[in-house]
Amino acid sequence: MLMGFASMAQQDQFAYTAFAQKMEMQAEKDDFQTEDDSFLQQTDYFRKHPLNLNEADEDEMRKLFLLNEFQIKNLISYRRLFGNLVNIYELQAVPGWNVATIQLLLPFITINDKKSMAQNLESRWSGGEHNFLINTSRVLEKAKGYLKPPVSANYYQGSRNRLYMRYKYNYKNILQWGILGDKDAGEQFFKGKQKAGFDFYSFHFFATKLGLVKSLAIGDFTVSMGQGLIQWEGMAFSKSAEITSVKRQSPVLRPYASPGESNFHRGIGITLQKARWETTAFVSLQKIGANKETDSVSDPGHITSLLSSGYHRTASELEDKNNVRQFSAGASFSYTKKGWRVSLNAVHYRFSIPIQKQDRPYNLFALQGRYFTNISLDYSYTYKNVHLFGEAASDKNYNHAFVNGVLISLAPSVDVSLLQRSISRDYQAVYGSAFTENTMPSNEKGLFAGVSIRPSSLVRLDAYSDVFKFPWLKYRVDAPSWGREYFLELSYIPNKQVEISTRYAAKSKQENKAGDNTTTSLVNNINRRNWRIHANVNISRSFTIRNRCEVIWYETQSLATEQGFLTFIDFLYSSALKPWSGNLRLMYFETEGYNSRLYAYENDVLYNFSIPAFFDKGYRCYLNLHADLSRLIKKRIDKKLSTECWVRYAQTIFIGKNEISEGLDQISGNKKTELKLELKFGL
């Protein structure tokens, strides 16, 4: 039986956990958190408008983010052979669709034969949903950058609140547009340098399914091609327990409606599709922020690095705001036949001043110049239970990069994935992002192998190993180096109410010896080992408890071993009968330093996520409350208006510290408290 003890909201939590786990591993690897909430926007949309699996095409199923390539292809074949599915239970007959996957998807899917409403152009413009979102947050303790009189020439010029507003119209994901404005804490608002109000504005218009035109994007959108060797913006996960998601997949164009101020294009893009051919072309012109250096008075300067944080709070940050013009254009041609799909992709970038990184040995092959062109050929092929994919790319200097992978469903209970990457040290792609250990696809060779075994519905085992090497130097690694990563996770799901898992991960890399300030430092091995135990228990239909305990050991040849520990307990309440829900976390962490830091995914208000790094010693607690005020408001204003409200209170208390953070963000005392409020109106 699929429906059972777990409520819809609890199913939701399972999907959240699957996503959270990937995000955590990504944050650990990159030490950086993206602001791209497009995944959360999509899942929220599907929660309200479940995807009809009898009608959805491949691209729409990929938006669910929870299905792997086999499951998608098998469902399409199944529908072709046997016609539409009768009900949810029939999904179990589709190869690769197991009960666990179906349960994860339940809140987001539906099976019915209702043909979608006539999608003529007029109904698209008026039949959709309007949503207006306001999000504001504030750190209650005053950071150094806000002190008056200012402590230094660089100080935070604006108010301490973060304010984010977004209006969006969406008709069944076929037609959407919107505008948003974002002001980070410390940025001014209608004052000083921000005369236009918000620091960041974004407009997007995205239409799909217009006959020959598969998608049309005007305004802000993201471009993703192949396996990311030449171009990838938007959500991309690398290694995680979901070993079948080694393959990157995304439509070339996607709308962009997130507050992150980088990693998108501003311009026009169009995708045409006719029979087996699909063609995409885009062009964009925008201003971006970069660190500039000038050699002399007459020199227009050169870019030493592209900025992505989007912070424009201090005088020097404002100087770097939108100081470089970026023009880009690109195209992609793909041909699909039977199990094959082949695409030819090209992108071209042009900057108003050249990129010239700092003159260090590790930058010998770094991005250089004003113009960048990349082309690639990517392919995918499915044969029975094997799915092959890959990409071969070249940059303007004819340096090459290759990625090849295979997904194999060896048995109904066993999936295997392999991925090989071979990217030369001098390969350059400005906005590439592939399945690599490095943040940028360059200077890396590696082999990834993953296996997922589900011997029964009770037990699940996921494991992977990644062996890689870097042929050239890297930042803080003064020699060619290598690394290895091993991961093993065992999950036990005795019934629908309980899930217990334990995970062990070990990672070795090389870095310059700490404290070695010679021109070419010695390179040391660094080992990180993690062990985590995690449990999810549904106490009742409305109440869930989550518990985690995690230990990390950080070892390097030159310093003493650092150990870290983290434990938390979550209480989640959500009832179908009540219009409100909430969750509370209590956490204790203790690490011996920054090197033994631990990451933990936190629940947040809608469309926000938070994966802080925890180090040193302290407590963390947060409380999220959600209230659906529609019933209250409906009687008074408008029958159709829906109103929802989220409040978040989060506090970290450090033990034995009297200062938190550094620089302008420094807070005196040992507490850091954040308060967040979000309102969403829908029509």
In degrees, rounded to 5, the angle at the alpha carbon of residue 356 between the alpha carbons of residues 354 and 359 is 165
356 by DSSP, 3-state: which? Answer: strand
Q: Are strands 175-183 and 200-210 parallel, antiparallel or unpaired?
A: antiparallel
Give the tokens for residue 221: 């959108």
What are the residues facing 324 on neighbouring strands?
A: 288
Distance CA 349, CA 325 (A): 10
**467 interacts with another protein by CB under 8 A:** yes
| Selection from 522, 672, 660, 536 nearest residue 610 by Cα | 672
What residues contact 240, with CB distance under 8 A and at least 6 apart? Answer: 21, 22, 25, 26
Q: Which is nearer to another protein, 256 or 470 (CB)?
A: 470
Q: Which is nearer to another protein, 148 or 384 (CB)?
A: 384
Distance CA 347, CA 341 (A): 20
Longest Cα pair distance anywhere in the chain, in angstroms? 74
Q: Which is nearer to another protein, 485 or 644 (CB)?
A: 485
Distance CA 381, CA 367 (A): 33
Give the tokens for residue 574: 């959500």
Q: Which is nearer to another protein, 412 or 663 (CB)?
A: 412
Task: Report which DSSP code applies to 630.
Answer: H
Q: Identify which range of 154-162, 271-279, 363-371, 461-469 contacts another protein by CB under 8 A.
A: 461-469
Number of H helices, E strands in the chain: 8, 33
Q: How far is C-alpha 232 from the chain's CA centre?
A: 12
Q: Give min distance, CB of 525 to another protein, in A.
A: 12
- Which of 16, 340, 486, 649 binds another protein (CB under 8 A)? It is 486
Q: Identify which range of 53-61, 193-201, 463-471, 512-520 contacts another protein by CB under 8 A.
A: 463-471
Q: Which is nearer to another protein, 385 or 497 (CB)?
A: 385
> Kind and range of the H or E element at 45?
helix 38-48
- Which of 416, 434, 440, 650 binds another protein (CB under 8 A)? It is 416
Q: How far is CA 107 from CA 8, 101, 277, 495, 572, in A?
A: 6, 12, 34, 19, 17
Q: Which is nearer to another protein, 466 or 616 (CB)?
A: 466
Give the tokens for residue 547: 């518990």
- DSSP H helices in 167-256: none
**571 interacts with another protein by CB under 8 A:** no
**469 interacts with another protein by CB under 8 A:** yes
Q: Identify which range of 316-324, 328-336, 478-486, 627-635 contacts another protein by CB under 8 A.
A: 478-486
Q: Give min distance, CB of 551 to another protein, in A.
A: 18
Upstream peptide bond of 149 is cis (omega within 30 degrees of 0): yes
Q: Which is nearer to another protein, 472 or 568 (CB)?
A: 472
**459 interacts with another protein by CB under 8 A:** no
**411 interacts with another protein by CB under 8 A:** yes
Q: Give min distance, CB of 411 to another protein, in A.
A: 5
What is the rounded end-to-end Cα distance, in angstroms, of the chain? 36
Q: Give min distance, CB of 103 to another protein, in A.
A: 23
- Which of 283, 346, 375, 463 binds another protein (CB under 8 A)? It is 463
Q: Please report, as residue ranges, which positions from 506 to 545 form the binding site for another protein (by CB under 8 A).
A: 506
> Kind and range of the H or E element at 404?
strand 400-411
Q: Give min distance, CB of 447 to another protein, in A.
A: 6
504 by DSSP, 3-state: which? Answer: strand
In whole angstroms, how large is the CA radius of gyration of the chain?
25
Q: Give min distance, CB of 439 to another protein, in A.
A: 22
**479 interacts with another protein by CB under 8 A:** no
Q: Which is nearer to another protein, 268 or 467 (CB)?
A: 467
- Which of 167, 482, 531, 573 binds another protein (CB under 8 A)? It is 482
Q: Which residue has the tokens 């991005």?
A: 367
- Contact status, residue 324 vs residue 301, Cβ threshold 8 Å: no
Q: Identify which range of 48-56, 119-127, 310-318, 481-489 contacts another protein by CB under 8 A.
A: 481-489
Distance CA 649, CA 196 (A): 30
What is the x/- site pattern for another protein, positions 487-506, by CB under 8 A? -------------------x
Q: Give min distance, CB of 640 to another protein, in A.
A: 53
Task: Report which DSSP code applies to 513.
Answer: P
**484 interacts with another protein by CB under 8 A:** yes
What is the x/- site pattern for another protein, positions 429-458, by CB under 8 A? ------------------x-x-x-x-x---
Q: Which is nearer to another protein, 332 or 481 (CB)?
A: 481
Give the tokens for residue 249: 């997949």
Q: How many residues bind another protein (CB under 8 A)?
A: 18
Q: Give min distance, CB of 26 to another protein, in A.
A: 23
Q: Which is nearer to another protein, 218 or 414 (CB)?
A: 414
Q: Which is nearer to another protein, 154 or 525 (CB)?
A: 525
- Contact status, residue 183 vs residue 189, Cβ threshold 8 Å: yes
**560 interacts with another protein by CB under 8 A:** no
Q: Which residues bind another protein (CB under 8 A)?
A: 410-411, 413-414, 416, 447, 449, 451, 453, 455, 463, 465, 467, 469, 482, 484, 486, 506
